[in-house]
Amino acid sequence: MKSETSSVILDNVSEEQLPIPKHKRKGWSHFLGIYAGEHVAATEFVIGATFVALGATMTDILLGLLIGNVLAILSWTFLTTPIAVETRLSLYTYLQKIAGDSMTNLYNWVNVIIFTVISAAMVTVSATAVRFAFGIPAQLSWYPTNAWFVLVVLAVGMIVVLVAMYGFNAVSNFSRICAPWLFVMFVSGPLVLMPALAEHVIGQTTLTSWADFMHIGSISVWTGVDAQGEPGIGLLEVIGFAWAANTITHFGLIDMALFRYAKSRTYGLCTSSGMMFGHYIAWISAGIMGAGTAVIVKKSIIELDPGDVAFQALGLSGLVIVIVAGWTTANANLYRAGLAAQAIFKNHSRNKTTLIVGVVAVCIACFPFVFNKMLPLLTYAGLLVVPVGAIVFTEHFIFPKIGFTRYWAMFQNLTHSTPAVASWGLGLAFGFTLNALDVMSFYYLFLPTWFFTCVVYILLAKRYGAAEAYPEEQAKLDAYDQQVEELHAEQALSEPVSTPKPTLATKIIHWVSLLSLGISLALAFNTMFMSADVSAYESNRDLFFDVGFICTIIYFASAYWVMQQNKKVVA
């Protein structure tokens, strides 16, 4: 039994600041769903079109995105997940233990701002679909030019905030429903528009070989020439961006907040659902959809917003995909922002801090410039937080191997860790100096910055006492950890055991949801491969638009029903 004193101590600690107990850990399907939902997302429309505008070649896209996304998966698996699984803490809580209040609060503020703005961008993207449906003009300025657009943003945004407020389970469940449908839609879009591209390039609606596909893609999508008519980016840049796009979450260790729920460190491989289906297939699909839409509406791809592209590719289902894809990404990022804010305002619940940052995000989302600047935002955000990830990695993995003491700053009762703050600052100065000197591609700057920060932190921490032993303090920490384990054991005993009811009706409705996805995909393949001429293509496309939208409604209704039934327990 816990002592009365330890009980009081633990009662005064927020649940978010304690390790995740064993009975609350999640299986691999949760992580496959949440990463597929987050990364098969609205940003894919923006980034996929950007690769086209930047003038990448088709070969560079197919090979470069594959290599870069595999590197990202390995980064999550070997950097982020092991630390999260061993500590069961979010990065924000871990940083408090090794860097003190001042740096932790500064870092948490940086993350609140970053993830709030990213969430705002996703809400804006979702609003472009509703804007299109109601005939509201495209918002091309940095500020809103239509009052109805602002109302649309407010309505869309508040749904995102409400889902994010309910925490990890709500975000995970929402993503798990959306992910299969999002994947089907991103595959269907290019299939539906490819005949239009083929007619434009080779004068026929059907493709007879892989060579036709490569030729069409090289001529009309990834041409190797940018929007100014100059030679575009190459293979190394494509690899670098695909790897660096999520440095904030893997090298920067932000996703410790998610993987602290993982049962095993191998769950880092679950990010492949987002990287392969999202950043690989969806970026390629978005490029094809953007190019096809540009041909149909006779505009440049840089003049199109996600609502335009999705509607031309998928009809009314396209408007739904932009909304849903924006929600799934915004939900996860608002969850992260709420955690960071809760780490700052420890006396407030995560629900309350998520609500506050969510309201701010919705207000920012009213300004369309946020989603037009996604690439600079992602790359600069990654460079800002990578040094902090290096500090945590060094403390957790390197210090024990070189005889240093992990958590030495906490053992000294420091509220301000000079080595951590200085290492972060020097790491930023190093990275941005390399950028100013144009020493290497911006997309790879996180690598030398990360290694530089690791070395600096080791040298500075040694001077301030990291190499010393703290046996008494370590014993107190071990005793505290034991009290936490006892508390979690007691909580597990009172935790209700839920067993899904595998009723016949649930099984039937589940198969209905899968059948609706299969029908949509079959109609998309029919549009691409069974359109002998333009007339047949238009007929098949309209059939996909009409039936596909009905299947979308059926899928979400049935998938939601099944999820609710699976929550019920056997009486």
State whether 114 and 256 are in the same domain.
Answer: yes
DSSP-assigned letters across all residues of 363-374 = HHHTSTHHHHTH
For residue 32, what are its two tokens?
A: 């496959």
Closest to 365 in 3D by CA, of 156, 88, 61, 105: 156
- For residue 260, how many other CB atoms are within 10 A of its CB? 25
> Does 449 map to a domain?
no
Per-residue model confidence as pLDDT tens digits over 262-299? 999 899 999 998 898 878 988 898 888 888 888 777 77
pLDDT for 571: 38
Closest to 398 in 3D by CA, of 480, 461, 473, 472: 461
What's the CATH code of the domain at 90? 1.10.4160.10
**Contact (Cβ atoms closer than 8 angstroms) between residue 291 and residue 197:** yes
Q: What are phi and psi of 223, to 5 degrees?
A: -90, -15
Higher pLDDT: 316 or 227? It is: 316
What gap in Å lies between CA 314 and CA 316, rounded to an integer? 6
State whether 247 and 111 are in the same domain.
Answer: yes
Q: How far is CA 470 from CA 410, 474, 477, 556, in A?
A: 10, 6, 11, 56
Higher pLDDT: 211 or 344? It is: 211
- Range scoring the smallest mean pLDDT among 422-431, 518-527, 553-562: 553-562
Higher pLDDT: 16 or 556? It is: 556
pLDDT for 457: 96
> Does 405 map to a domain?
no
Q: Pick the last residue of a domain from 337, 372, 407.
A: 372
Per-residue model confidence as pLDDT tens digits over 356-403? 888 888 888 888 766 666 666 777 788 888 999 999 999 999 999 999
Expressed as residue numbers, the domain containing 202 is 28-372
pLDDT above 90 covers a percentage of the chain that reads: 29
Does the pLDDT value for residue 511 go beyond 50?
Answer: yes
Would you say the pTM of this structure is higher than 0.85?
Answer: no
| Coil/strand/helix, residue 500 | coil
- For residue 60, how many other CB atoms are within 10 A of its CB? 21
For residue 12, what are its two tokens?
A: 């005064």
Per-residue model confidence as pLDDT tens digits over 9-18? 565 666 667 8
DSSP-assigned letters across all residues of 398-453 = IHHHTTPPTTHHHHTT-SS-HHHHHHHHHHHHHHHHHHHHT-S-GGGTHHHHHHHH
> Does 379 map to a domain?
no
For residue 198, what are its two tokens?
A: 């083929």
| Coil/strand/helix, residue 251 | coil
What gap in Å lies between CA 44 and CA 67, rounded to an integer? 18
What gap in Å lies between CA 359 and CA 122, rounded to an integer? 14
> Does 406 map to a domain?
no
For residue 42, what are its two tokens?
A: 């609205």
- CA 541 from chain center: how many Å? 31
> Does 138 map to a domain?
yes
Place 172 in a pLDDT band, splitting at 50, 70 and 90: low
Place 81 in a pLDDT band, splitting at 50, 70 and 90: very high
Q: What are phi and psi of 262, to 5 degrees?
A: -70, 145
Place 238 in a pLDDT band, splitting at 50, 70 and 90: very high
The tally of domains found in the chain comes to 2
pLDDT for 569: 43
Q: Pick the last residue of a domain from 372, 396, 419.
A: 372
State whether 192 and 59 are in the same domain.
Answer: yes
> Does 233 map to a domain?
yes
- Helix, strand, coil content of the chain in percent (nearest 5): 75, 0, 20
For residue 530, what are its two tokens?
A: 């069974």
- For residue 87, how many other CB atoms are within 10 A of its CB? 18
- Range scoring the smallest mean pLDDT among 18-32, 105-119, 137-151, 407-421: 137-151
Place 5 in a pLDDT band, splitting at 50, 70 and 90: very low
- CA 454 from chain center: how many Å? 26
**Highest mean pLDDT: which range of 55-59, 281-285, 457-461:** 457-461
What gap in Å lies between CA 137 and CA 127, rounded to an integer? 12
> Does 156 map to a domain?
yes
Place 162 in a pLDDT band, splitting at 50, 70 and 90: confident
pLDDT for 512: 93
The per-residue pLDDT of the chain, averaged, comes to 83
Higher pLDDT: 568 or 489? It is: 489
Closest to 186 in 3D by CA, of 87, 285, 272, 94: 285
Q: Pick the last residue of a domain from 327, 355, 372.
A: 372
Closest to 186 in 3D by CA, of 61, 294, 306: 306
| 279: Cβ contacts below 8 Å, ≥ 6 apart | 39, 44, 65, 69, 72, 242, 245
pLDDT for 430: 95
State whether 368 and 513 are in the same domain.
Answer: no
State whether 367 and 501 are in the same domain.
Answer: no
Does the pLDDT value for residue 568 go beyond 80?
Answer: no
> Does 11 map to a domain?
no
